[in-house]
Amino acid sequence: MCVSRAFKVLVSHPQVPVAALQLLRSRGAETIICQSVPPSRDEILEKVGGVDAIFWAHYQPLNAAILDAAGPQLRAVSTMSSGIDFADVEEFKRRQIPLGHTPGVVKNSVADLAIGLMIAAGRHFHAGRRDIETSQWLTEQIDWRMGVEIRDSVIGFFGFGGISQAIAKRLQCWDVAKIIYTARNRKENDIDFKAEHVPFERLLKESDFLVVAAPLTNETREKFNAKAFAQMKRSAVFVNVARGGLVNQVDLHKALSSGQIFAAGLDVTTPEPLPADSPILKLPNCVVLPHLGTQTMKTTIEMSLLAANNIINAIEDKPMVSPAY
Ligand SMILES: O=C(O)C(=O)CO
């Protein structure tokens, strides 16, 4: 179906996949594309005035200042992200402006990466690479760089939404001992993954691999702190593919350097970008990636199409495909 009139969409980044731009244009959109990389707030504020929709393709604050600069005709905004911690959702609700995001399509690429981090951290990928660079091959020692395996392990998830379930689905053929998770409510489909809903304290105490895949909210901020790490197994591997803000990074550093926990794999940190001299990068038992969870072309295109469809639906007075509230 074609929309009845042309509408203007501000696209906040020049590298949004062409497929999404073509989809928007095929439904009557004039796309106003910001050219700065990284996106410049000044350019966005200069170009956003009078648009009907905003395609927010980066992680800078999406707040009242942007909505004010757009003006009262604004009818739809979608991020090209699953997490929306950078968006002032309350302000959108107050103004009744539909806000969309793209959670459904990120799960596979993030799940793949999470399993990569579980193995990379559990099996000393980072320290092993450093051993090569410093000519410290100690292969003659039987106990050199002993790691931990996923097989026979208790896998714990903090949050049991799409990403955790995609990881759990992949792990069905890895001979794990058990899958447990902590979430606000028990998930009806947890039986599909033979997963057990447990209180946070049990998650900490029982997990051999603890994977964080939950949104950053006031409730989850710094949930993983000294008190939490102190309750984990000394052999535990901690993986975070959600947001750095769920973790107190200083406490994590202490837990890793003191041997309180065995290793960590992080795709997200505080801050991002992480300074090159960050102490967390110096730890042999911490694998750190620069937030690559959705960095595959397939997933990026899917995210961009979902964001475009969120906008098109709202412009056509239909519910967004993935509303953020
Ligand atoms: O989509 C998101 O929110 C991401 O952080 C991608 O890794």
Structure confidence at residue 3 (pLDDT)? 47
Establish if 88 belongs to a structural domain: no
Structure confidence at residue 1 (pLDDT)? 47
Tokens at 252, concatenated: 């994590």
**Taking the model in full, what pTM does it have?**
0.95
Q: How far apart are CA 214 and CA 292, in angstroms?
A: 17
Q: How far apart are CA 244 and CA 221, in angstroms?
A: 9
Establish if 136 belongs to a structural domain: yes
Structure confidence at residue 4 (pLDDT)? 52
Amino acid symbol at 225: N
Q: CB–CB of 29/51 below 8 Å? A: no
Q: 30 and 159, same structural domain? A: no
Atom of ligand 1 nearest to the CA of 292: 7
Q: 221 and 115, same structural domain? A: yes
Complete DSSP assignment for 174-229: TT-SEEEEE-SS--GGGGGGTEEE--HHHHHHH-SEEEE-----TTTTT-BSHHHH
Q: Residue 116 sits in which domain range?
A: 106-288
Candidate of 106, 112, 239, 241 to mutate for ligand 1, largest count of ligand atoms within 8 Å of Cβ: 106
Q: 191 and 124, same structural domain? A: yes
Q: How far apart are CA 222 and CA 228, in angstroms?
A: 10
Q: What is the three-class DSSP state of 36? A: coil
Establish if 322 belongs to a structural domain: no
Establish if 67 belongs to a structural domain: yes
CA 154 – ligand 1 centroid, Å: 26
Q: Which residues, judged by CB distance below 6 Å to any ligand atom, belong to the binding site of ligand 1?
A: 81-83, 106, 291, 293-294
Q: 225 and 115, same structural domain? A: yes
Is this complex's ipTM strictly greater than 0.90? yes
Q: 180 and 239, same structural domain? A: yes
Q: 78 and 137, same structural domain? A: no
Q: 162 and 71, same structural domain? A: no
Candidate of 294, 296, 299, 303 to mutate for ligand 1, largest count of ligand atoms within 8 Å of Cβ: 294
Q: 211 and 154, same structural domain? A: yes
Q: 110 and 73, same structural domain? A: no
Establish if 187 belongs to a structural domain: yes
Q: 111 and 16, same structural domain? A: no
CATH code for position 123: 3.40.50.720
Q: Domain count of the chain?
A: 2
Q: 309 and 277, same structural domain? A: no
Establish if 97 belongs to a structural domain: no
Establish if 205 belongs to a structural domain: yes
Collect the ranges in the chain with pLDDT lower than 50.
Answer: 1-3
Establish if 325 belongs to a structural domain: no
Catalytic residue among 13, 101, 124, 291: 291
Q: 216 and 139, same structural domain? A: yes
Structure confidence at residue 254 (pLDDT)? 98
